[in-house]
Every structure is written in structure tokens, then in C-alpha cells.
Amino acid sequence: MQAGGRILFITMEARASQNAGRVMDGPTNPMVTPLLTDLYQFTMAYAYWKAGKHNERAVFDLYFRKNPFGGEFTVFAGLEECIKLIANFKLTEEEVSFIHKSLPGSCEEGFLNYLREIDCSDVEVYAISEGTVVFPKVPLLRLEGPVAVVQLLETPVLNLVNFASLVTTNAARHRLVAGQSKMLFEFGLRRAQGPDGAIGASKYCYIGGFDATSNVAAGRLFGIPLRGTHSHAFVSSFMSPDEILERSLCSSDGSSTCEDFVTLVHSWLSKIQWLKSLGGIFGETNQSELAAFISYALAFPNNFLALVDTYDVIRSGVPNFCAVALALSDLGYRAVGIRLDSGDLAYLSSEARKIFHTIEKELGVPGFGKMIITASNDLNEETLDAIRKQGHEVDCFGIGTYLVTCYAQAALGCVFKLVEINNQPRIKLSEDVSKVSIPCKKRCYRLYGKEGYSLVDIMTGENEPCPKVGERILCRHPFSESQRAYVVPKRVEELLKCYWPGKSGKVREELPALKDIRDHCIKQLEQMRPDHIRRLNPTPYKVSVSAKLYDFIHFLWLNEAPVGELQ
Amino acid sequence: MQAGGRILFITMEARASQNAGRVMDGPTNPMVTPLLTDLYQFTMAYAYWKAGKHNERAVFDLYFRKNPFGGEFTVFAGLEECIKLIANFKLTEEEVSFIHKSLPGSCEEGFLNYLREIDCSDVEVYAISEGTVVFPKVPLLRLEGPVAVVQLLETPVLNLVNFASLVTTNAARHRLVAGQSKMLFEFGLRRAQGPDGAIGASKYCYIGGFDATSNVAAGRLFGIPLRGTHSHAFVSSFMSPDEILERSLCSSDGSSTCEDFVTLVHSWLSKIQWLKSLGGIFGETNQSELAAFISYALAFPNNFLALVDTYDVIRSGVPNFCAVALALSDLGYRAVGIRLDSGDLAYLSSEARKIFHTIEKELGVPGFGKMIITASNDLNEETLDAIRKQGHEVDCFGIGTYLVTCYAQAALGCVFKLVEINNQPRIKLSEDVSKVSIPCKKRCYRLYGKEGYSLVDIMTGENEPCPKVGERILCRHPFSESQRAYVVPKRVEELLKCYWPGKSGKVREELPALKDIRDHCIKQLEQMRPDHIRRLNPTPYKVSVSAKLYDFIHFLWLNEAPVGELQ
């Protein structure tokens, strides 16, 4: 019962030996196995098998109904992990026997043999490219294959797409509000929803436009740039500079050695203390902080970045930082800057910048005014927006909790709906129109206008002709009769590509490198009309169906819906 | 860059061979390694090492400042995973070389040798038992050891405790509002924040009082009971009962075989259709639904539970269910019940119950009125509370998104603060009093009153005498001079126990089985005074310090705080 780690390791070994020579690596998290699914997928598989229906060809669409965070766009992510799951989808003997034990009641041995055999070699996966800006109702993924197998995939695929797309979208929103010129760091590991809640967030925030993470494991797994300096505990672990025993520091070019760096720092501290233009803003600075800064600088003379808010930013942290930075400058090193982790970030960053400029000017240290100011402390879209409006001097933002847990909306509601079985289109009705599914195996296109922006997405039946550049096409709202528009596209892009061809013989779309997914996402956002992606009152993007598909939906709807009786 | 899965597998292998013969299994998720930490823990480790401070003995407290979900209690969880991390904490050679590459600038080879050697053999971990009800400011964990090593543990330990405690608390809150008599199932896998956001949620919701999960992987890893039947897609994958080819069903006792179960169901359907007492509530039921129910019953005659809301609960789903259940009853099987996944759950469950009772009475089928009614569909604390007040007939609730993502508050803010180094107490000040840390290595006690409820938690210095039963003790609010009370405890419980003794020679507290943690949690909640755990306007539980610790905190505070200047 408590042997979670060991059970998983046994599975990992079994799976690895099974997967030797396979097309691609497994999912990043080895916990992603065919058992990472709802029990009902297996009970249904048994019922399909008993009914002889398990190999009936089914088509499922994965889509969401509403954009998150009150916005009008979403960034699709999680595809690579889905394909890795599908490429390696195979139950181990031990997993089959666990399912055997877990099914309610007994099951026939033939079903277990069936489970032993299944994989995704007969499943086809069509998907929108990872990192693409997407909209409600349009399938992000379309899975076709034997109904029992595709149902087993429903839960893990939803799990892998839902949070990935949510947190990528959240990162993109933070990037939009921070502006392109700022550096954004993801610092959420400690507050994330579990270990790979954190690792996933690091990966997907990078795709969404963040520049780096503090999460070493994510840096190693995905090659994301890493950032980090020191914490408040580091500062308070020191008492005073007296405890620093090894005080020598070689100059940057190796030509000389300063034997007592501590004394050099002290001399700079007195100099800036008496700078008239600083107006005597500080007297005695905190000595444990000074000791911590000196120690950190001795360890990283080329990368000195100090957390300056443990005691008092303006009266202690910034002066201590400046003294150490000036001493480093004497030896040919260039300090990086400061981090603020509390208080009024707009005000404190501006005050700190003034001090840096004063020092550059008064003491003639070129570039000192350009010290990098990093800010952290419970930042989110709202606070970024607020301090931007207030005016600030922050260069880099470190964002944690609100970013990685998607605090403003902790879940995206992707669903997975049957749209066709045995070539028969299926519709799922609901009293709530927004929950009615769009039936049929479909093709999806994005139509672009003359300014280069995308105008509308349109879904058509599988066999309808593709919309053509320069040709007028009627785009209809799928459920509202009155909403429709003619569009003459300047460019037509087919959205769903084949990422896992099954036995179709189609060419498999390559999974791009993480960096390329990130570039694609950034470019996608640039191609959106700004009013669709703005924070306040964004304009909804139009998602439509062809006239033919519209008619078919409504024919099917009337056919399926029970006629009500008012009493 | 894209080789996440492979990198992790290599590490798993290296770690497994390294860990052979170790005290306990590693963490459930193999992604939990010493690299699952913030980069700054490694840059600080290097700075400590450079300063010769890395082995200074430090004490850190892990605690939170505010209960989540607007409540006045929290359930502590995640301890077992922390201890498994600590027990197996060792960097592989490949991880050391990654850190080498990742540190800004160069580092000395001696530091890499130091990294190769470190483990937690000299770290002591004291913790509150997993599943205990806990309150702000009281340390959940206290880690003592070489400062550089304990800092490396900060981030992963926070990650492992934060979400675990949050989601356990969320589950406990759902249990409190649903009442003890209901069954609660966790159905959140598809919407959780990543794969082990889901697996963690399944584990911790079970601890918090849930009865089962749909997550097969969690069932296998932790032995949690599994639940699941079928989905809407299963229903709409059928067209009509005509497609059912294998129609025979052996009776429950094996004595006879019904050759055409489909016809038997049809005959029951016409019977109940004409039952006067049902007032002709339905005419033609949906045939694809009927086919799906019959197929499911043929696969699981002993465990027939049907999802009845694909078309119309009262006019199709429930009558179809009843016909199949009655046919099963003819053959000696007992159907389980229905699941509702949309609409007005209170109303629909009551209507369904009436139909079941009518059938029990009119058709003389004993027990038919007691069919289990399960409800799902975006349930949360509020909706559970609302339908309870409205009156309903639901026996089991399946809860997903809001439960597992902790939608109402997606993060718990546990922090990890240095409280002592080299036997010197440390305090972290802040302009916000709630953020001031409580210094010193402390002992923590829970004092119980004569009615068996816990009255107050009190923290004392490490060497103060333990509060004694029947002896009056002054409990002071840590920061507010006027808030204090004398307490005469009827029972005194020491909260922090030694879960990892390091080199102290103390006895290591065993990690209990998951079931025992769950029982402990349930018992803990029973021991709380009801007003502390109620949903609306709960009474804050008192957390205090001894008079001696109070004086010491304020002495240290005055010593450290800069004297302000008003200008």
C-alpha cells in the first residue's frame, strides 16, 4: 500500500524493456501510463468487448467551450506529451493483472488477452500545432481508432492537455501585460500543485513566453534557462562581516589580487554614505546583510545579484549592494543588480534606480545606472498591470504562485466527445446550447484577412472542398441562425495535422523542439488582432461552420432531440 | 532538449542502483529528485561553501500563515513523501555535472566533490503526524542540519507539503459539508494540474475522507478503492438494441440461462410504461441509450450502474434503467443504481427515488427503492451545501475539478524560515506583522480541555518545561500584547515528533499506512470543536507562545528592527 515508489519503478523497468526500439521516448513523467485513466474507461472497454463493438471505428474531438481567465484566446499545449503517451501505449502484464482485480465482478480471460495486445498502431491522431492560439469549439485533437482504445486514451489525453494549455495561456497573458521588453522568470516550484505541476508549469510557461525558470529539474529535462541568486535565509544566516575569513578576491583579468575585499567594501560604503546627492538617506546599514552580500560576491564576482529587502531596501539593502558592486567594479567585475521581494515595487524600483544613477554620475562608474532590477512577491496579471500604469524601473519579474497554479482559474474544461462511430455522425445534446457537440469528422481552417490577421476559424465536413484564397465562403455560427458572414480569405491554413498516422499511411508531422514551439507561440500572438488578446473587454474571435455542416448539425439535432411537453 | 523521458529514466536507474539497500523507497513520483529545487539553493550552497559556512547547524521551520478556503483549519499532509525524499537524498554524478554547468560563472572542483558527498544523514526532521488538523504559525516540519543541505531541501519539501495539505483540507471540507452518511468519490483526473496533480489529489482526497477514486494509477499505487461505470460516449456509441448480437445471460446462481435478455428488458419496459402510478411520465425511451444499458448489464450483471442523463433523465434514462434492472432481478441479479451528471440534482434524484419506490411497491421488488443514486457534474462545497439544504436523494457524490485543483484557492502559502543558526535564534521581520517569523528552535503542544476538544496550541523554547496536565499555564498571542489566557490542560500532546533522526540517536517515528493516516485525519476532525470547522463564520483556533518565548521574541524584534524616521 505504501510502496508507491517501488511499484512505479517496476513499471518503468517493464515499460522500458518493452519500449526498446520504439519510435520515441515515453512521456516526461513516468507516472503517465495506460493506467493513468478513469476506471470507467476499462469497464467500458470490457462492455464494448463483450458486445463485440471494441473495434468499431470511432472519432473523438478534444476541445474546450470557454476561454480561461475571462479572455478571448487560449494557447494549445500538451501535444508532445500526448503523442509520447500514444507512441508508447502498451499495458504491462502486471498492469493487466491489476485491471483484472479492479473490474467489478469477474471478467473473461479473452478480455485480458485483448488488453495484452492493444496499442495505438491503429489510432490516428490529428492535432493543431502545439503553441497555436486556439478558440472554443474547434477540435485541438481528433483521435480516430477502435472505440475501446480511443476511450482509454480520453482521460490521460485530457489530463495532459488541460493544465498544459491553461498554464501556457496564463504565461502568455502575463507576457502580454508585462510587455516584450521585460524579462520574465517563473519562480513557482514551491507553490505548484505537486512536483510535475511545477515541472509542467516551467515547461509551459517557457512556451508561453517566459525567459527562464528557477526549477533546476525543469532546466535539466527541457533545457530551459535557469535563474536564481539567494534568499532571505541566506542573509539572516550571517551575523557580521567579521565572520568572513577568506577575504581575498582576484581581479577579473587575473592581474592582481585584493587581499581584503571586506575592507574595500567598507571603504566604498563610507564613501556613498557621505554622498551629498543621496541626501544622507541612510546611516548604519545592516551588518548581517552586508556580510551576506560580500560572501555572495566572493562566490560569484561575475554574477552578483543581491536580494535587498530583508531589512530595509533604501536604508540598508541598496546601499550595501552598491558598496559591494563598487568594490567589485574596482576589480574589473560588473555586478548584475538587485532583487526586490516585498513592499511597493513601483516606488522602490524607482528609488533604487535614482540611487544607481546618482552613483554612476557622482562617482563616475559607467553603466552603474543600468543595474538590473528584478521584482518578485505574489505578482500576477493585475499587479503587473497596476505597477506598469504607476510607472516603475523593474527590468525582470519573477512570478510564482499565481502563474503556476493558475490561481485566477485553476482548471480548463477541455472535453472529449464522440463525433462519429462506424461512419455514423453522433451529436451530444444538452439543454445548455454551449454544451451541444459539433458532430462529424471535420476539417478545420483558419482564414486570414488582408492585414495578415486571422479573421475566423471554420469547420467543415471531412469531404467538403477546402476554402480557397480569394474565393468567397459563408461562415456560419454553429448554433445561431442569424450569425453568419461571407469571408474572402487572403490566406487559408488547415489547422489539424497528422501527428500519429496509425495505419493510414499518412506522413507523420514531426514534433518540434521546445524552443520552436515557444517561437511559434510568440509569433502566433503577434498575428492576432490586438483587440482579441487585450486584457480588458477583449473582442471574441469568431468560430464558424460551413453552410453544409450547419444544415447537417441542425438536421441531426432535430432528429435526436425529444419533443417536449408543456403541462 | 526533447529527451525528458529518457533523461528521467537514466536518473531513475542511477538512483535505484545507488539506493539499493536503503532505508526506504523513494518518493512516489520519480521526478522528485534533489534537482527538484530552485537554482538559488545551489548558488547559496556554493556561497556557503566558499565562506566555509556550509556545515553550520541551522534550524528551519515550515509553516503557513493563513488557513485556506476562508476556513479556520488545515489538514497537514505530504510528510511521507518528504521523508522518502530525505531518506534517498543523494545527487547522481550526472546531476552534479548538470549543476556545474548551471551555476553562473565557474565554481571550484572542491564544491563538486562536496555535492557528490552530501546526503541527509546529518539532518533531523521533526514533524506533526500526517493527517493532523493544524493551524497557522505552528511548524508542521522542523528541519535541523548543515545549513547548505537544509536549504537544498527547502523547495522540494515546500512543494510536497503545500499542495498535499491544501487538497487534503479541501477534501475534508467537502466531507464536512456532505455529511458522514454519503459516499464521496474523487473523479478529478482529467482536470487536475498534470499527471501527479491528479495522482496526488487522489491520495490526499482519500486521506481527507473520500471513499474512492476513478484514477486507476492512484488505485494501484496506494490501494485506494476504485469506482467507475460508463460515460455519455458509451451511450451514444450504440444505435439500437437490434445491434446486440449476444443476448443470452446466465442467471446469478448459474441454474438457468435467459436466451434473449433484450426481449426480457423490452417486456419490462412496456410493463412500467403502463404503470398507472407513474402517471404515464414517459412514452418512447431512447433506443441507443437502452442498447447501451443492456450491453453494460450483460458485461456487469452484478454491478449494473447506469448514467441516465444522456437524453432525458425522467422520460428516458430512469425508465430504461428500471427495465434493465428488473430484467436482471428476474435472473437473480441486483442492480446497483444510477448516476446523474447534469441538471437539477436535488430534483432529479428525488424524482428518480419516487419512481424506484413506486416500482418496489407496485411490482413487488424488495429493495428496488434503495437503488444507489450517484451525482456528479461540477460539484463543489457550495453546490453540496445548496442541494443538502434543498433536500435530495443522492447517496454518492463524484467530485472532480473543484476538488482536485482546489479551484476556490489554488495554493497554500507554506513558507520555510530560518529560526536558528549556530544556536543563535534568528527572526525575519516584516512591515506586515503576520509575516514576522517566530524565532528559536521550539517545542509545540496541543492542550485539550475537559470536554475532549483541543483548546489551544502553544509553542515554547526548546528547553522550557513541558506544560503539565492540571497545571495552569499562560498562553500568549505571539505578537499582540493584550491577547493572553491561562489554561489548565486536561491533556497535553506534543505535536512535533522525530521522523528522521539524523545522528541524534533518537528513535525514528514510523510512517503509518495510508489507511491509518486517513483514520487519524477523520478522528482529528471529530475532536475539533464544531465551531472551528464549520463552513460559515468559523471561530479562529488559538495559537500561542509561552510567556518566556513571548518576551524573547519581542527582545529580538526590538534588537533587529531599524528605528524609523518620520520626515
ipTM: 0.96
- Find the CB nearest B430 among A9, A215, A342: A342
Size of interface A-B (CB pairs under 8 A): 450
Chain B nearest CA to A453, separation (Å): 31
Long-range interactions of B436-439: CB distance < 8 A, separation 24+: B436/B479, B436/B557, B437/B61, B438/B61, B438/B137, B438/B478, B438/B545, B438/B549, B438/B553, B439/B552, B439/B553, B439/B556
What is the percent of chain B with per-residue pLDDT over 70, rounded to a whole number?
Answer: 97
Q: Of B82, B141, B170, nearest to A195 (Cα)?
A: B82
Cα Rg of chain B (Å, integer): 29
Q: Is residue B92 part of a domain?
A: yes
Residue of B6, B108, B190 best to disrupt the A interface, most CBs of A under 10 A = B190
In this predicted model, what pLDDT tens digit does every residue of A121-138 receive, in sequence order?
999 999 999 999 999 999
**What pLDDT is stored for residue B91 in this prediction?**
97
A238 has pLDDT over 80:
yes
In the three-class reduction of DSSP (H, G, I as helix; E, B as strand; rest coil), residue B421 is classed as: strand
DSSP element (H, E) containing B554: helix B547-560
pLDDT band at B21 (very low <50, low <70, confident <90, very high): low
What residues does B415 pair with on adjacent strands? B63
Residue A411: all three cell numbers together? 482548471
**Nearest CA-CA distance, residue B522 and chain A, Å:** 19
- Claim to verify: residue A21 and residue A169 sit in the same structural domain: yes
Label residue B229 by pLDDT band (50, 70, 90).
confident
| C-alpha distances in Å from residue A70, one per residue of A62, A385, A412, A541, B200 | 21, 15, 12, 13, 28
Task: Note whether residue B371 is domain-resident.
Answer: yes
Q: Does A201 score more than 70 pLDDT?
A: yes
* Residue in B413, B148, B434 with CA at minimum distance from that of residue A190: B413
- Nearest C-alpha in B relative to A16: B9
Please give the angle made by the CA atoms of B210, B211 and B214, to the nearest 5 degrees: 95
Q: Rounded to two decimals, what is the model's pTM? A: 0.97
Chain B's closest residue to A6, CA to CA, is B25
The answer on pLDDT for B3 being more than 70 is no
Using a CB–CB cutoff of 8 Å, tell me whether A406 touches chain B: yes
List of E strands, A36-154: 57-63, 74-75, 124-127, 133-134, 141-146
Q: Is the pLDDT confidence value at B408 over 50?
A: yes
What mean pLDDT value characterizes chain A? 94
Q: Report the chain A residue with the minimal C-alpha distance to residue B336.
A: A104
Mean of pLDDT values over B419-441: 90
Closest by CA to A73, choosing from A169, A9, A193, A203, is A169
Q: Is the pLDDT of residue A277 over 90?
A: no
B430 in the same domain as B324? no
Asked whether B168 and B525 are in contact (CB, 8 A), the reply is no
What are the tens digits of pLDDT across the range A482-522? Answer: 999 999 999 999 999 999 999 999 999 999 999 999 999 99
Look at residue A565 in the predicted model and tell me its pLDDT: 58
User: Has residue A211 been placed in a domain?
Assistant: no
B339 interface with A at CB cutoff 8 Å:
no
Q: Is residue B194 situated within a structural domain?
A: no
The nearest CA of chain B is from the CA of A50 a distance in Å of 6
A193 within domain boundaries: no
Taking an 8 Å cut-off on Cβ atoms, the answer to whether A147 and B237 are in contact is yes
Query: A319 vs B20, which has greater pLDDT?
Result: A319
- The residue that leads in pLDDT, A477 or B106, is A477
| A-chain residues near B414 (CB < 8 A) | 190
- Which pLDDT band holds residue A558 (cuts at 50, 70, 90)? confident
Residue B204 has pLDDT above 90, yes or no: yes
**Are residues A233 and B60, on separate chains, in Cβ contact within 8 Å?**
yes
A-chain residues within 8 Å CB-CB of B46? 299-300
Predicted confidence at residue A429, as pLDDT, reads 82
The mean pLDDT value of chain B amounts to: 94
A300 interfacial to chain B (CB closer than 8 Å):
yes
Q: Are A170 and A234 members of one domain?
A: no
How far is residue B480 from each of residues A309, B417, B440, B476, B551, measured CA to CA in Å? 25, 21, 19, 8, 12
Q: What is the CATH number of the domain that holds B279?
A: 3.20.20
A264 and A334 together in one domain? yes
pLDDT of res. B428: 87
The span from the CA of A129 to the CA of A468, in Å, is 21
Supply A46's cell numbers. 470490457
Q: What is the widest separation between alpha-carbon atoms in chain B?
A: 97
CATH of the domain at A124: 3.20.140.10
| pLDDT at residue B413 in the model | 95
Whether B234 sits inside 8 A of A151 (CB atoms) is yes
Cβ–Cβ below 8 Å for A47 and B296:
yes
> Which pLDDT value is given to residue A1?
45
Residue A537 burial (CB count, 10 A): 8
Query: Cell numbers at residue B260, please?
Result: 434473449
Mutation target for A interface from B31, B33, B152, B328: give the one with most A CBs within 10 A.
B31
Residues 47-76 of A with CB under 8 A from B: 47-53, 56, 58, 60
My answer on whether B451 and B503 are in the same domain is yes
DSSP state of B553: H
Pairing status of strand B396-399 against strand B372-375: parallel
Q: Can you spell out the DSSP letters for B289-323?
A: HHHHHHHHHHH-TTS-EEE--SS-IIIIIHHHHHH
Check residue B22 and give its pLDDT.
Answer: 61
Flag whether pLDDT at A344 surpasses 50: yes
Longest dimension (CA), chain A: 97
Domain co-membership, B434 together with B358: no
Q: Cβ-count burial of A391 within 10 angstroms (0-12 exposed, 13-18 middle, 19+ buried)? A: exposed
Q: Could you say which of A345, A370, A394 is where a domain stops?
A: A394
- Same domain, yes or no, for A552 and A420? yes
Residue A331 and residue A472 in one domain: no
A146 to chain B: closest CA residue = B237
- pLDDT per residue as tens digits for the range A143-200: 999 999 999 999 999 999 999 999 999 999 999 999 999 999 999 999 999 999 999 9
Partner-chain contact A189 B37, CB within 8 Å: yes
pLDDT of A469 > 70? The answer is: yes
pLDDT attached to residue B370: 98
Q: B197, B188, B288, B177: which is closest to B228 by C-alpha?
A: B188
Residues 6+ apart with CB under 8 A from B98: A216, A219, A220, B35
B401 touches chain A (CB under 8 A): yes
Tell whether B413 and B321 lie within a shared domain. no
% pLDDT > 90, chain A: 88
* Yes or no, beta carbons of B5 and A12 under 8 Å apart: no
Reduce the DSSP state of residue B47 to 3 states and report it: helix
Q: Please say which residue of A368, A394, A420 terminates a domain.
A: A394
Pairing of strands A337-340, A372-375: parallel
Length of chain A: 567
Say yes or no: A516 and A369 in one domain: no
pLDDT tens digits, one per residue of B479-531:
999 999 999 999 999 999 999 999 999 999 999 999 999 999 999 999 899 99
**Are A422 and A547 in a shared domain?**
yes
Share of chain A above pLDDT 70, in %: 97
Cell of A305: 545579484
B549 and B464 Cβ atoms separated by less than 8 Å: yes
**pLDDT value at position B88?**
96
pLDDT > 90 fraction of chain B, expressed in percent and rounded: 88
Report CA B472 to chain centroid distance, whole Å. 37
Assigned domain for A42 exists: yes
Q: State the pLDDT confidence band at A10, using cuts at 50, 70 and 90.
A: confident
**SS3 at position B213:** strand
Q: How confident is the model at residue B269 (pLDDT cuts 50, 70, 90)?
A: very high
Domain hosting B342: range is 239-392
Residue A500: the pLDDT is 98
A420 has pLDDT over 90: yes
Cα–Cα distance between B560 and A241 in angstroms, integer? 16
B424 and chain A in contact, CB less than 8 A: yes
> pLDDT category, B562, cuts 50, 70, 90?
low
Half-sphere exposure of B329 (CA within 13 A, CB side): 19
For residue B193, being part of any structural domain is answered with: no
Mutate to test the interface with B, among A15, A17, A25, A43 (most CBs of B within 10 A): A43
Model confidence at B2: pLDDT above 60? no
Q: Is A240 left (phi over 0), alpha (psi -120 to 50) or beta?
A: beta
Higher pLDDT, B428 or A89: A89
Cα distance between residue A342 and residue A436, in whole Å: 48
Bridge-based pairing of strands B337-340 and A491-494 is unpaired
| Contacts with A373 (C-beta within 8 Å, 6 or more apart), sequence order | A337, A338, A339, A340, A349, A352, A353, A393, A394, A395, A396
Chain A environment of B426 (Cβ under 8 Å): 236-237
- Relative to beta strand A454-461, strand A442-448 is antiparallel
Nearest CA in chain B to A57: B237
CA dihedral B518, B519, B520, B524 (to 10 degrees): 100
pLDDT tens digits along B118-171: 999 999 999 999 999 999 999 999 999 999 999 999 999 999 999 999 999 999
**CB-CB under 8 Å, A406 with B7:** no
Give the pLDDT score at A555.
93
Q: Under 8 Å CB-to-CB from A515, ≥6 apart: which residues? A: A223, B1
Choose from A9, A18, A40 for mutation: most chain B CBs within 10 A: A40
Overall domain count for chain A:
2
Confidence band for B563, pLDDT divided at 50, 70 and 90:
low
Residue among A4, A6, A315 whose CB faces B222 most closely: A4
- pLDDT-derived band at B1 (thresholds 50, 70, 90) equals very low
Closest to B104 (Cα-Cα) out of A374, A296, A223, A302: A302
Domain end marker among A365, A394, A423: A394
Flag whether pLDDT at B17 surpasses 90.
Answer: no
Do B43 and B118 reside in the same domain of the chain?
A: yes
Task: Say what the pLDDT of residue A431 is.
Answer: 74
Q: Which of B1, B220, B567 to mutate to test the interface with A (most CBs of A within 10 A)?
A: B220
Task: State the pairing for strand pair B74-75/A212-213.
Answer: unpaired
What pLDDT, on a 0 to 100 scale, did the predictor assign at position A273?
87
pLDDT in tens, B383-401: 999 999 999 999 999 999 9
A227 contacts on B by Cβ (under 8 Å): 39
Residue B385 lies in a domain: yes
Q: Looking at chain A from residue 359 to 388, which residues have their Cβ under 8 Å from any Cβ of chain B?
A: none
User: Are A58 and B237 in contact (CB < 8 Å)?
Assistant: yes
